[in-house]
Structure 1
Amino acid sequence: MYLSTQDYSERTKRALNFFFAHDNSTRFVIIRRHGWEAARNLECYFLKKHQETHFIDGATKLGIMNEPHPVLCAKYHCLSNWLGGIDMGFYDDYRNSGKAYVSYMTPDCSIGSPFLPSPATWTVPMEMMIAIYTWHARNGKFLNNDRLYFCLTDHVQAGGPYHMGYFAEDDHALEPWERLRFEPGTATIEPGPPPDLSDEWPLARREAALEKYNGEYVLGGFAQTALMLGEDESIAIAERSHFANVVQWVRPFTVDLGWTGDTPATRYADLFCKIWGLIGDKFDVHTENGDVFVENTKTRLYTPQYVGWEYPPRRLEEAFARAWTAASRAVGPGVEVSVVKSRMDGDGHTIWRFRQTDHSAFIGGPGEYDAVVTHARELMTNYWEKDPVVASVL
């Protein structure tokens, strides 16, 4: 068995840790508010949009369009996800069996990132994870091949050592539901390393591609959520998702990335710039009457395939600002973060303001946590003197 072939810099690994976690945070907020079926549907439609935008173009850039379709697809998913920071495997058995295998190796990134192992991966239902492979099963549509299918043979959430499946062609045209199959435990091959990339993909280019990948996933996820659940709900999800990620990372990043400044506002603004700078965002910073103004002169948050969400809408930026405001108390006194100007309002660049207010802000709408009081009372009433009753297994 080969081991990881990833050679990214520590800076890029930090970016992966933060922005993969961001994507997963959104998934879990949706599960919390709408159930795993809604998260499954979002995953399916988001990847469908991503496929329509990038599949053929990406395969062309990778120089694999002349491969047999099963091999083309396995190489595409292996290399594109490897470029996206995931540890991948590949096995070409096309000449023997007509199959080409792609493997997503552990650590599974459906909870955190490819560099942060977590046993919590089993909290994600397999019924939801199958949505990811609808992309694989739709490749034939874009290749004009109605015999092409994808069969999933292993999956961590189904007790497998990694996520693996193969592409193959049947001897007749297939209905859509026949193009995605699940046959756990049937593969006997061992994943090999990803195919070699051409010399046109040095480390610097791969890291730049990864910056774009991270930015698109953050913004695209919220754009797709708005299409499915409405803009108001997408903004509410974004506020909670962004907060959940930021509040987990601000303390370790003060050490890993460092932060400078002589006031809480200047230090927090510096940390903000360094975290977003992990994906290549650029900022100009100036201070005025104790407030810190951060002008975002370049952003990787760009999804031209979503009308109205080409860049973050002002409402999304304001949701991010509320998240950073609430998280500020994790590293010092309360700092209020607000949006002064927004790129999507035609103001050129987005400008953020950081102001120390010593607030006690938190994330949540009116009445959102009222049920907690009821549950606390019930628990203290019912279990103060009583022991839990364990059902007999005899």
Structure 2
Amino acid sequence: MDAVGDWYHAFFTGTVLTAVSRRGPRDAAELVFRIFRRQQQERFLPGLEKLGLRSLPPAVAAARYHYLSNAIGGVGVEYHEESDRKAWIRYPPPRWIWQGTAICGIPGEVNAAMLRGWHAHNGVALGCPRLGFICTGQTVDGQPGLEGYYLEYDHDLEPEERLRFSRGETMPLHDPARAPALPAAGWPPERLAKAKRGYAMEYVRTALQEAVALFGPVEGGHLLGLAARLVAMQHYAATAAALGLPGRGEIQSFAAFMVALAAAQGDRAEIVEGPECGSLVIRQQGLNLLRGIPHPHPAMLEAWNELLVGALAAHDRFARLHFLPDPEHKLTWHLLPAG
């Protein structure tokens, strides 16, 4: 599950970087805004209920939600509560979302789009038009962490007032002993592992939908597919090793990688002999990543398949992988050796 979480985490970060480099900061910021707004609309209120935060004051509920949900996802996060009307959150370096050196390619406006999409909209979702978010620092701008606080004002806020920046303020020191905690009984290790895997996969699921909606199936699908192929070529060896596989060799080991990856992400796949000498057929019973999307555009699946294309290029650049339609199985591949 950790390997799959890292795999999809890299795909998401790579998608944003590809948007920045191929379409420019403005389009990338719009994509990030849409991703985080959709996530906020779909996940925030149900998450408050699941975490037992719904009855708290709006500023405290919003900040505790971000603290706990990000901690579940494996993200480094800190918390400080000043009052019922003011509560801080801070994401210290290293930033999870812009993994490693990827942070060097993220413009400030793209990172701010995340805050506009989610943090600035929590007051609206809670029915508290007085609640806003004040950002006091962004790691992508060279400051020591993304931080800010939720503040319940004495008056209703206009849309443009829901997010503002105040660079001269700093969050007080985080005290883990005073921070909110998950009830251990309700969050055993297996549930936490699944939640961490789902955290990264959910970002990709949303990015697939929003990139196709924003840029269209042709351009959006191309952007997603390019990011998928590049990321898979870079991360295949490490992911295969994490799954206990060699990351090179005959096509049988790559087929085993596909089956192990499917199992780790909550799917089921099998390997059978192919119609040609030395070939293999891999059949997978659907794709967990796209479940819950009412009518996923074919471009989403085609873009996701580029993860496997890129992985095979790193495994054996002369082998071939054909994605085939099959009336009995939703996903079928024909894997052929070099030659």
- TM-score (normalizing by structure 2): 0.90
Query: Residue 77 of structure 2 is aligned with which of 88, 103, 108?
Result: 88
Instruction: Give the one of 199, 205, 210 matched to 2:191.
Output: 205
Residues 251 and 319 of structure 2 are in contact (CA less than 8 Å); yes or no, is this contact kept in structure 1?
yes
Distance 1:287 1:315, change over 3 A: farther
Q: How does 1:240-279 map to 2 (within 5 A)?
A: 240-259=226-245, 264-279=250-265
Displaced runs of 4 or more, over 6 A: 260-263
Kindly provide the CA deviation profile for residues 13-56 of structure 1, in whole angstroms up to 9, marking residues without a partner as x: x3332211110111111112210111110111111111111111
The one of 128, 144, 155 aligned to 2:138 = 155
The answer on whether the counterparts of 2:135 and 2:147 sit within 8 Å (CA) in structure 1 is yes
Out of 15, 21, 29, which is 2:4 matched to? 15
1:319 and 1:133 map into 2 onto residues whose CA distance is 27
Cα distance in 1 for partners of 2:248, 2:173 equals 55
Q: Give, in whole Å, the separation in 2 of the partners of 1:258 and 1:174.
A: 53
Mapped partners of 2:63, 2:324: distance in 1: 46
Q: What's the secondary structure of 1:133's corresponding residue?
A: helix
Aligned residue for 1:190?
173
Pair 149,303 (structure 1): closer, same or farther in 2 beyond 3 Å: farther
Amino acid at match of 1:105: P
Greater RCO structure (CA 8 Å; 6+ sep): 2
In structure 2, distance between residues paired with 1:136 and 1:280: 30
Structure 1 contact 322–338 (Cα < 8 Å) conserved: no
Is 185-194 or 320-329 further displaced after alignment? 320-329
* TM-score, length of structure 1 as denominator length: 0.78
The answer for the alignment partner of 2:163 in structure 1 is 180
CA contact (8 A) 2:79 2:90 kept: yes
1:325–1:334 CA contact under 8 A, matched in 2: no
Alpha-carbon offset, residue 349 of structure 1: 2.9
Contact 2:90 2:171 in 1 (8 A): no
| Local SS of the residue matching 1:351 | strand
Partner of 1:292: 280
1:102 to 67, 80, 89: 89
SS of corresponding position for 1:218: helix
Instruction: Work out whether residues 70 and 167 of structure 1, in 8 Å CA contact, stay in contact via their aligned partners in 2.
Output: yes
Amino acid at match of 2:106: V
Q: CA separation of 1:119/1:33 partners in 2, compared to 1, >3 Å: closer, same or farther?
A: closer
Given the superposition, is the C-alpha separation of residues 271 and 140 from structure 1 closer, same or farther in structure 2, using an over 3 Å criterion?
same
SS of 1:301 mapped into structure 2: helix
Q: Which has the larger radius of gyration?
A: 1
Q: Measure the CA separation in 2 of the matches of 1:160 and 1:321.
A: 37
Residues in 1 aligned to 2:247 and 2:111: alpha-carbon distance in whole angstroms:
43
Q: Structure 2 stretches of 5 or more lacking a match?
A: none
In structure 2, C-alpha distance between the alignment counterparts of 1:76 and 1:149, rounded to whole Å: 15
> Cα 1:337–1:187, aligned 2, differ >3 Å: closer, same or farther?
same
* Matched residue SS, 1:160: coil
String of CA shifts for 1:104-129, please: whole Å, max 9, x gaps.
122112432xxxxx344233111211
Shift of 1:102: 1.1
Q: Give the SS at the match of 1:41.
A: helix
What is the aligned partner in structure 1 of residue 318 from structure 2? 334
Q: Is the 8 A contact 2:240 2:246 kept in 1?
A: no
Q: Quickly say closer, same or farther: Cα 1:340–1:142, change in 2 above 3 A.
A: same
Preserved contact between residue 321 and residue 338 of structure 1 (Cα < 8 Å): no
Shift, 1:156, TM fit: 1.0
Q: Report the residue type matching 2:290 in the other structure.
A: Y
Q: Does 1:318 align with 2:294?
A: no
Give 3-state SS (helix, strand or coil) of 2:148's partner: strand
How large is the Cα RMSD of the aligned pairs?
A: 2.4
- Over residues 110-157 of structure 1, what are the superposed CA-to-partner deviations in whole Å (9 max), with x where a residue is unaligned? 432xxxxx3442331112110111211111111111100011112212
Matched, 1:73 2:62: yes
